[in-house]
Structures are given as structure tokens and as C-alpha cells.
Amino acid sequence: MTIKIRCRICGNPSLEPVLSLGCTPLANSLLTEKELKQVEKTYPLDLVFCSHCSLVQITETIDPEELFSHYLYFSSFSDTMITHAAQLAQRLITQRQLNSSSLVVEIASNDGYLLKNYVTPGIPVLGIEPARNIAAMANEKGVRTRSDFFSLSLAKQLTEQGYKADVIHAHNVLAHVADLGGVVSGIGTMLKETGIAVIEVPYVKNLIDHTEFDTIYHEHLCYFSLTSLDYLFQLYHLYVIDVERTPIHGGSLCVTVSHQDERSAAVIQLLVEEKQWGVDRLEFYAQFSEKVARLRQNLSDLINNIKSQGKTIAVYGASAKGSTLLNYCGLDQNSLDFVVDRSTVKQNLYTPGTHLPIYSPESLLEKQPDYVLLLTWNFADEILKQQEAYRQKGGKFIIPIPEIAVV
């Protein structure tokens, strides 16, 4: 069986099915109390594989305006992300000898959590952020930000205005892009001949190896390997010249892209490794659906067993990945009590599809649930440390991925 949509990189019309998560609401479409009474829109969430360029992707494309014009994810609420961004910026300032004559651009710059590390030492920046509410917050912080979707036409317009970048950042955004060609060619347009683009994406091998099915949602259209990224950039005369695997977001690739074709040994080695583990063969992805179904059954059994004992279970993280997990596993008010999240803009809203109320993390100490299902498992170390007081009083965390564990 093949799915008849065209691959977002190479246009291949015959894609192979990997996993279906059914129809789900949009993962970040948190609800007000009034909206709980309305019928929620749901969309198919199906994962497919392209044997031509090795891209793994979902079949549905939602209008970006609906997804991103008003956004509720703020990177600054994560200590891990802030530290990661600061270290990366400092490294690039040193390596690229950036100064007041340089320009650093970030695509989907969120609330300025990364670019602020360049602003402080006096390096000019430009953030491009489609969510108007988040762009306004970044500007208030002194991080110059334009509220717009990045595209080839915008890149040409900015270039005509004199914006040519020494460094372009694009972190956890390429997976959100339907028009990959427009964004990649836009990067090439804005990048100086001597400049580099630093692009970070979740790594498809971690997705498969660690059963990270909850990272699949409608905002994430694509799931990249280095092989697929290499194919994509070469289509637009750009080249991956370096690559690094990082633990952020459950396992990511950080690639450096340039106008010059000067591959590092790390790039060559990882391309060979991917070929060896079968990046371009359906067989590597074929067992993923069975692994996901098994995890769902095991997690549901654990939750139901705990509830049958009269215990209470809260949830940590009103995240997009959490929405996928809760909806796919059928975990709602019948099995869970409430959600907590550090993001103040999510508090007092309700989770999409499952309609759980969202409170501040202080509610864990106030209500002292017996267990907490940790949906933002990619920040487990950070959150467990923050919740030491709750744990000292006997509270336990359920970590669902990569394997179910109670700590």
C-alpha cells in the first residue's frame, strides 16, 4: 500500500505508510472553559516514508496561519533550552569572530531566548517570528523581531534592505515547514558567501529507536535524517558541512550549512552510518507501529491499575507531545486528574481532546497527587530536580518514553 501525496522534498508521489495515530485535535489548540462545549476539529495524523530521498513525514498539511499566528510555546520557560542556547551562541561568537559589524538572523525566533545572547555583547540581530504575541514579547525584551513567516520572497525583500547574515539560526522550525524549498532557498539568499546556517531538527533515528511517537503532531510535518537534509540542501546549492548529535528534545541533529561544499569527517561518517542502519529502506521503520501500540497498551494498563487502587494521577506538561500521547492512549478525565505547566499562558486553559484543566506546578505540592505522568520527558532531569519537594513527600513520576519507568 502506498499513500498518494507528494514528498515535501523530492515530489515522489508514492509514499509508504509507517504509523497511523488516528484523528486528533491540533496539539497546541488549548481550550478555554467556554470552548469545552464546542465541537473540536480533528485531523488525520499519519506518518509515511519516502524511499527516494529518505524523508519521513506526515500526510496532512494544516494552514500555518491556523497553527502559528498565535502560539503558546515559549522557549524561555525551559531552563534546559536557555542553557543550550547560551552555550551555542557563545561558541559561535568565538568561532566566527562576530562583532558589531556582523548580523545574526533567526528563523522562528520565539521570544528571543537565543538571540538575546548576541544582543548583550552588541552583535546586531534580526528575529523572524510568525506568532504576533511572541514577536511582541521579544521586541519588548530588546530583541529586534519581525512578525512574519520566513520565505524566499521575504528573504529577497530583506536582502534588498541590506540584511545579509553571517549566521542564520533555525532551531526546531524546519520540521514545521510545508514549503521546504522556499525556506531553504531563502536561507541561501540571505546568507553571506562566507556565512553559515545552524539548523537543529529532531533526529528520526531517535524517534524510531526510542518510540518517541508523541513527537508526531500536525505542526511537525517532517522527521529528518542527515541523509534527507543533505538531499534537501543540495537541491538549492547549499551544503551540510558539519553535523553534531545533541540530546535536546529527545535527540536532535545540529547541522551547519554553507555555500561551500566542504564536508567534515563527521558528516561523511554519519551518512555512512545511516546507510548501514537502513535510513533509505522501509524495513527500518516497519516495526515502529507495533512498538507504539505495545507502549500504549502498557501505559494504559499501568494507569488503570493505579486508578483502580484509588490513587490520584496528575500530569506534568501541557505540551504538544503530551497532547499526542494523551489522545492516542485515550487518557482523559476518567483516568487523570489535572495538568501542571510552568507556562503562565497555558495555565487556566484545558488540554485539547482530553479536556484536563491546567494549573501551575505549585499545585503538585498543594494537592499532592500520588503520581505524576511526565509528558515533557525530554526535560526529565530538569523537572525532577525542580519537583524535589513533591518527591520527598512521597510523590512519584511516571516517565512514559523511551520506556515506561516509575521514579
Residue 308 lies in a domain: yes
Report the domain count for the chain.
2
User: From CA 321, how far away is CA 207, in angstroms rounded?
Assistant: 12
- Provide the CATH number for the domain around residue 239: 3.40.50.150
Query: Which residue type is seen at 192?
Result: K
Domain end marker among 254, 284, 314: 284
Residue closest to 70 by CA, chosen among 349, 340, 317, 342: 349
Query: Which residue type is seen at 177?
Result: V
- pLDDT at position 70, please? 54
Residue 161 lies in a domain: yes
Do 137 and 271 lie in a common domain?
yes
- 63 has pLDDT over 90: no
| Cα 104 to chain centroid, rounded | 22
Q: Once rounded to an integer, what is the mean pLDDT over residues 106-118? A: 95
Domain end marker among 255, 284, 313: 284
Segment holding 397, helix H or strand E:
strand 396-399
- pLDDT at position 313, please? 98
Do 203 and 264 lie in a common domain?
yes
Confidence band (pLDDT; 50, 70, 90) for 359? very high
203 secondary structure, DSSP code:
B
User: From CA 164, how far away is CA 107, in angstroms rounded?
Assistant: 14
Half-sphere exposure of residue 344: CA atoms within 13 angstroms, side-chain side: 1
Across the beta sheet with 252-258, the strand order is 145-146, 125-128, 104-107, 165-171, 191-202, 252-258, 239-246
Confidence band (pLDDT; 50, 70, 90) for 72? low
Q: Which residue has the cell 532557498?
A: 185
- pLDDT at position 318, please? 95
Do 113 and 173 lie in a common domain?
yes
Segment holding 207, helix H or strand E:
helix 204-209
- pLDDT at position 131, please? 87
Q: In the predicted model, what is the mean pLDDT of the chain?
A: 94
Confidence band (pLDDT; 50, 70, 90) for 77? low
Residue 258 lies in a domain: yes
- pLDDT at position 39, please? 93
Do 190 and 330 lie in a common domain?
no
- 347 has pLDDT over 70: yes
- pLDDT at position 73, please? 53
Do 312 and 210 lie in a common domain?
no
Q: Once rounded to an integer, what is the mean pLDDT over residues 182-192? A: 98
Residue 62 lies in a domain: no
User: From CA 272, how far away is CA 161, in angstroms rounded?
Assistant: 42
Do 311 and 217 lie in a common domain?
no
Contact 210, 37 (CB under 8 A): no
- 80 has pLDDT over 90: no
- 71 has pLDDT over 90: no
- pLDDT at position 250, please? 78
- pLDDT at position 79, please? 76
Do 199 and 328 lie in a common domain?
no
Containing structural domain, residue 365: 304-406
Confidence band (pLDDT; 50, 70, 90) for 224? very high
The three cell numbers locating residue 169: 539560526
- Provide the CATH number for the domain around residue 377: 3.40.50.720
41-55, 59-73, 96-110, 265-279: which range is least confident on average? Answer: 59-73
Residue closest to 231 by CA, chosen among 269, 192, 271, 200: 271
Do 227 and 91 lie in a common domain?
yes
Taking residue 213's Cβ as centre, other Cβ atoms within 10 Å add up to 25
Q: Between vectors from CA 216 to CA 214 and to CA 218, what angle results, nearest 5°? A: 130
Contact 358, 28 (CB under 8 A): no
Do 110 and 255 lie in a common domain?
yes
- pLDDT at position 143, please? 96
Do 94 and 129 lie in a common domain?
yes
Do 264 and 322 lie in a common domain?
no
Task: Estimate the crossing angle of helix 288-308 against helix 320-329, to 10 degrees.
Answer: 80
